[in-house]
Amino acid sequence: MGGIGLRPVSIIGIGSTPFSKLEGKGPIDLAVEASVQALGDAEIHPKKIEALYLGNFTSGILTGQETLGPLVANRLGMRAIPAIKTEGACSSATLAFREGVLAVANGVHELVLTVGVEKMTSASTSKVTAALASALDQSKEGSCGLTFPGVFAMMARRHMHEFGTTREQIAMVSIKNRKNGVKNPLAQFRAEVTMEKILGAKPVTEPFVLYDCCPISDGAAAAIICPTEMARKLSAKAISILACEVAIGNASIDMMSDMVSFPATVEAAKKAFSTAGLSTKDVNFVELHDCFTIAEIVDSEDLGFFEKGKGGLALEKGLTQIDGKLPINPSGGLLSKGHPVGATGLGQIYEVCKQLRGEHPNQLDNPKVGLAHNLGGTGAVCTITILSRNL
Amino acid sequence: MGGIGLRPVSIIGIGSTPFSKLEGKGPIDLAVEASVQALGDAEIHPKKIEALYLGNFTSGILTGQETLGPLVANRLGMRAIPAIKTEGACSSATLAFREGVLAVANGVHELVLTVGVEKMTSASTSKVTAALASALDQSKEGSCGLTFPGVFAMMARRHMHEFGTTREQIAMVSIKNRKNGVKNPLAQFRAEVTMEKILGAKPVTEPFVLYDCCPISDGAAAAIICPTEMARKLSAKAISILACEVAIGNASIDMMSDMVSFPATVEAAKKAFSTAGLSTKDVNFVELHDCFTIAEIVDSEDLGFFEKGKGGLALEKGLTQIDGKLPINPSGGLLSKGHPVGATGLGQIYEVCKQLRGEHPNQLDNPKVGLAHNLGGTGAVCTITILSRNL
């Protein structure tokens, strides 16, 4: 089937908490805060919402709280609707978004609230590391003690070996995204970092130092979906959803044929561009899943914006800067904004909407089409969303 | 919108592991086992499956394994499809089923695999109790140490107080369901229990003894969904999905207006009967969520089969026995079959299909319509599925 469904759909309201250490707020509080903001943005009463999809990854392990769908819906005053949690590691939020998009695009519901949430900073770092590692196959990577910094560091070394990508190019991802984050009021890190500081920092996992890794964060982000026809009547700032596609890849690294690409991204991109009827040339800017510096380079290639192996060079040439040909992570990305894992995907969608609405702290010049790329696990699952201004 | 979607849908294949203590098998193994059985039952190659929805509740907390969707899909040899985990406490499996039904009924996919799985017996009982309690609001029930046996025992006492329901009537749920389980090869308990034994047993939480509580179990169950038009061509034993509706209720007990009813069941039933265009009179048998004995009585009333307060009496009259007017839990129910929480809902759907196909170990006489009722939390969320033979 071509297109997103039977009818076009739009985002009519968005909301986001800051991504940071948010003391005294649990996952329910955070999800409610982002949802209330989105409902206010759309000027929609909670009782008009016909279904809630909530993305979350680690709440069971880190806070002992599951069943967040009904709990958040209750707190918002919603009654008797479906409220469903989706999980797919760091792609959990966009899986919720995707289910909401399908439900509205195919006439099941008229107004759906999607929200992603994560509360991470109240647990110890070792517990957070273990919780994140639950996205790896416990019988494989898990049993040999491998966690995410190790997986991505291996990818970095392989990318350097295979394509001559330099340590400096990899560091430039952090420098660019930290710089972009300075102006973003939602970002966890709002200070620039220099090449000197990165190259002189203590290693975390060779070749990574702390500046190559996104932080541990709390946060929530929300988006309300409705038919585009309804959106046109209700709002002047609604954003069209041109595609939202999901593809699984390899959920454990022993299944990867190489360490320089995520097939999940390649496949989801193929589907998303086909659904939207667009190509990479039509995209004006990208928010992508830079959980580690190398990820931005790999993702930018897997998405088809640069030839495989050329992502580092593109960065060095400045092509992905805010004033470049294809700005990547003008929000500051996960490296600067933070990475509340089950909220991140909707956080990216929030940032893309802000740009398309002309309301972004790092506003680009009149962007028409933006793409959000959200990855779970070691490329276990990828969601790609393509958005444009409503015309 | 009336009906289940744009086109009628059917279950073309089912599978289930036994529900029991299944040593040496993790959640991925169990989900794969049930899925392979369902694929074999339908004679569908895994590569024909266009999406996987996987229900699971406690795997993160109890086994440290999340991201089960992609991991199970990988193991089944599926590539680049969407694979999404859904969670809603003990209703997790039917939330997966519901998303699959919507996707097929509205033309998003042609063939969807839905599977529910739980691995509980490898953890300590106290850890399992804590994992299950993650369905309660941790800031309310959680902080005062309330867990599920306590919540349902309060309901039992209130039902006795309000309607004169007797301890013996409550015990009869256990006697009936244990008797039904004797012949079910998938059941965890296959021995009858007597009134004398129940009334003489040591209390767990007044008025409950061990026989009033379902066990801790491992297990997985799966169902494959396709358009009814396709099902007719491919299989003589396909089962029609007349309705699959979800409603949230009160996710914490301080929100309940009484302790003798679950609004989530009442609302989901209302929607399900409306979608199916049927009433309680059209239903020939029921698989319902008897996590505790009192739950069967409360559920049978909330579903509209008996007047509020009369569920105990109906049971005493034998109406819900296998040879009664409305057999309830001919499979043995959760009390006898076991309760691998994230698998239970699809386990019920498996049992209903077996009856409608005429293949059940406790085969009823030519049943046409069966209903499955799956409850999460303290009535936080309920899914009701109505199935019939394909005509």
- With 90 as the cut, is the pLDDT of residue A153 above it? yes
B6 vs A: CB within 8 A: yes
Three-state SS for B96-161 is HHHHHHHHHHCCCCCCEEEEEEECCCCCCHHHHHHHHHCCCCCCCCHHHCCCHHHHHHHHHHHHHH
- With 70 as the cut, is the pLDDT of residue A185 above it? yes
What are the DSSP E strand ranges found in chain B?
9-16, 51-55, 83-87, 112-118, 203-205, 208-209, 219-227, 239-248, 285-287, 369-376, 381-389
- For A140, counting Cβ atoms within 10 Å of its Cβ (0-12 exposed, 13-18 middle, 19+ buried), the class is middle
The verdict on a CB contact (< 8 Å) between A246 and B65 is: no
The verdict on a CB contact (< 8 Å) between A60 and B107 is: no
Q: Which residues contact B138 (CB under 8 A, 6 or more apart)?
A: A26, A63, A64, A65
Contacts of A79 in chain B (CB under 8 A): 248, 267
Residue A311 tokens read as 């992502």
Q: Which of A9, A58, A62, A71 to mutate to test the interface with B (most CBs of B within 10 A)?
A: A71
Q: Please give the Cα distance from A55 to A52 (Å, whole number).
A: 10
Q: What is the mean pLDDT of residues A29-53?
A: 98
Does residue A90 carry a catalytic annotation? yes
Which of B109, B159, B289, B339 is the catalytic position? B339
The verdict on a CB contact (< 8 Å) between B86 and A85 is: yes
Does residue B144 carry a catalytic annotation? no
Per-residue pLDDT at B391: 67
Across chain B, which has 391 residues, the per-10-residue mean pLDDT values are: 82 98 97 98 98 98 96 97 98 98 97 98 94 90 84 97 98 98 98 98 96 98 98 95 97 88 98 98 98 98 98 98 98 98 98 98 98 96 96 67
Residue B157 tokens read as 């006492």
Residue B245, CB-side half-sphere exposure with 13 Å CA sphere: 27
Compare all CA atoms of chain A with the CA of B5 and give the residue at the minimum distance: A108
The verdict on a CB contact (< 8 Å) between B89 and A80 is: no
The verdict on a CB contact (< 8 Å) between B381 and A67 is: yes
* A/B interface, count of CB pairs below 8 Å: 216
For residue B130, which of A100, A65, A104, A305 has the smallest C-alpha distance? A65
The verdict on a CB contact (< 8 Å) between B74 and A102 is: no
User: Taking a contact as any Cβ pair under 8 Å apart, which residues of chain A between 213 and 252 contact chain B?
Assistant: 246-252
Query: Shortest CB distance from B248 goes to which of A66, A83, A86?
Result: A83
- What are the pLDDT digits (tens) for A76-113? 999 999 999 999 999 999 999 999 999 999 999 999 99
Query: Shortest CB distance from B138 goes to which of A65, A78, A381?
Result: A65
Give, as one character, the DSSP assignment of residue B210.
Answer: G
Is A302 within 8 Å of A266 (Cβ atoms)? yes
The verdict on a CB contact (< 8 Å) between A255 and B134 is: no
The helix (run of H) or strand (run of E) holding residue B337 is: helix B333-337
A375 vs B: CB within 8 A: no
Contacts of B138 in chain A (CB under 8 A): 26, 63-65
Q: Residue B164 carries which side chain, given as an amino acid letter?
A: G
- What are the pLDDT digits (tens) for A355-385? 999 999 999 999 999 999 999 998 999 999 9
Contacts of A81 in chain B (CB under 8 A): 247-248
Per-residue pLDDT at A1: 41
- With 60 as the cut, is the pLDDT of residue A389 above it? yes
Say what the ipTM of the complex is.
0.97
